[in-house]
Amino acid sequence: MSKLTLDEAIKHCLEVAEQNEISAITYKNCKEIKANMYEKLTAEKAENDCRECAADHRQLAEWLTELRELSLQIAAPRLGSIEEYHYELARCKTAFWSCNKRCMDAEEQYRRKADELRKAQEQIAEYKRLLKAAVEDMNSNNICFDINACNVCAEKNCISCDTFHWRYTDEVKRLLRGGDTNG
């Protein structure tokens, strides 16, 4: 047997697949006109065998085609000289560092966004705390006329007075200006 090239092997597989597909059709037609059950079963088995053989050869042709394409891709980038090799190496290094810098920039941006998110979550928690305190104070019905008994206003002024000053007013103002509520 002579050595086949890859292209010849692909062509051979496709030819065998086509011949087996034609044979399967022939056996199918033959099966339909046979009166004897044994002949029908024999024709049916032959039809199935031909279809299976055709499918196998088509699959083999696909694999050989894929092998040929991969072989061409591997052979294609062969370099002709050391200068070309150095040029390609420098090009690859540049692409690597460019990609690496983009990754580092994205990581830094992610860290900044995570810090901003953490700060925003802390601020939201503080807003919730102050809102809860405001609702509690509003619902406490601590409208009193005894300056020393008032626990709603900061300066122990009664809530019904004109000089009322809520105990968390300064914290809320600092928070709304973007400052820290702790100082």
Unique residue bearing structure tokens 């002579």: 2
What whole-number distance in Å separates Cα of residue 178 and Cα of residue 183?
Answer: 12
The CA distance from 30 to 47, in Å, is 10
Torsion region of 161: left, alpha or beta (phi above 0 gives left; psi -120 to 50 gives alpha)? beta
pLDDT digits (tens, 9 = 90+) for 81-136: 677 767 777 777 777 777 777 778 878 888 888 888 888 888 888 888 877 777 67
Angle between helices 37-75 and 6-33 (to 10 degrees): 160
pLDDT for 10-34, tens place per residue?
898 899 999 989 988 888 887 777 7
